[in-house]
Amino acid sequence: MRRVAIIGAGSVVFCKTLILDIMATSALEDTEFVLMAPSTSKTSQVKAYADSVIAANGLKAQVSVTTDRREALKGANYVICSFQIGGVAAFEMDYKIPLRYGVDQCIGDTLGPGGIFRALRSIPVILDVARDMEELCPDATLLNYVNPMAMICWALGETKIKFVGLCHGVQTTLDLISSYVGVPKQEIDYTCAGINHMGWFTKLTHYGEDLYPILREKFEQPAFYVNEKVRGEVFRHFGYFMTESTGHLSEYVPWFRKNQQALALYCDEPSFGGASGAYYTWCDYVANKYKEQNVLADEPVALPPRSVEYCAYILEALETGKTFRFNGNVRNDGMIANLPSECCAEGPIFADKNGLNKVLIGDLPPQCAALNMTNINVQRLAVLAAKSGDPETVVQACALDPLTSSVLTLKEIREMVSEMLSAEREWLPQFAGRTPRPTPTIHIPANVERAEVPIDPALAVFARFGELAK
């Protein structure tokens, strides 16, 4: 039997979805699932439910649980990662500490202080998984669902394992585009490429007809624009439509969450995901609701159709050769020519018997690549900080973050990072109590005399202009 190790299988509902998808795929129904989490409180619930489905549907699958990651990985053909280091407790600090400094996050899992600190907690663990895979299952393929996707996959790209990062952004955005242009989703021919949560639809056609004129016309109508103000604004000014909703995108750029006026203008619709702390509030609600309850106790045991998740389709393609196209996250290495080769890029991939085969896109439109680079700069430093344990690199990553830098001074950023490192130290062993060096404010007396230094002749001219102006 093929062996699928799920690391982070305590994510009960999501784990259940992936297992059912694989069981519902005829070519994969004889799969052995090994569910790994630090405790068996949740994985035992998943196993009990999966066993009921197997029995009710006469399937050949098998399910076991373990708290030993190496035991789960030994001999695995596929590894699925879906863990969250620190859980809701760490997430609360990711959101509430920056908010006290004035950095208002909606989702906080991809960029911004929240995304950076989630990467600091998660990258050492995913690299441990990769090292174990190199030893225990070197031919296995890792399917990653851990966020922040781009930073996690950037780190994985520096290992020897085969991997791909999976996200929902392209599928859900196509649903929206389909409804706006009035064309069935399955009939839209598209190319989407960029980075995770900032992929650009560079091509949108229907039987050869360009759909962009229709989409642009819709976004000039208030009834459509109001549903996606942030994404609509970026579309109107940068020329291409992008993955991710108002709540996500508003965090990756400096224009929409920098003050109360901007928040009120662009992120005032909580139902569309722009509210402050929307994702943390939801996660906290779910965690408390199901803390003692068996979420799967009353779930039906009939095998449902496959969901829209890519996982089962990819495994089917790798096992049978039935080609499956999807958008995935991999090490760039030339897939997008005007983004760094070592970064994580998201673009079209074909899965088949030969493995995961990425499509070479060429250059993105320059303005799109430039906006991607504002996020890639942060990702690079966050990955470096996670691996090195250098608190100064964390400060620098946050200082380059578009949202944080639109709100805080460098000194304020340093203070925020120091507080977050101290508050989250139990999940950040690589920093071992290290904090950014203090930088006290330099007080300048009103009558200070400037030190004698050489003056650039050009600056001297400007100084003379200043004197004349007086």
* Residue 260 CB partners (closer than 8 Å, separation 6+): none
Altogether, the residues listed in the chain come to a count of 470
Residues 6+ positions from 395 with CB-CB distance below 8 Å: 413, 414, 417, 436
In 3D space, the residue among 152, 105, 111 whose CA is nearest the CA of residue 400 turns out to be 111
Residues with a known catalytic role: 168, 252
Q: Is the dihedral of CA 41, 86, 101, 405 positive or negative?
A: negative
User: How many angstroms separate the CA atoms of 283 and 36, rounded?
Assistant: 21
The gap between the terminal CA atoms of the chain, to the nearest Å, is: 85
H or E element: which one contains 152? helix 149-156
Q: CB atoms < 10 A from the CB of 339, how many?
A: 24
Q: Which long-range CB contacts under 8 A does 265-270 form with residues at least 24 apart?
A: 265/229, 266/229, 266/230, 266/233, 267/106, 267/229, 267/230, 269/226, 269/229
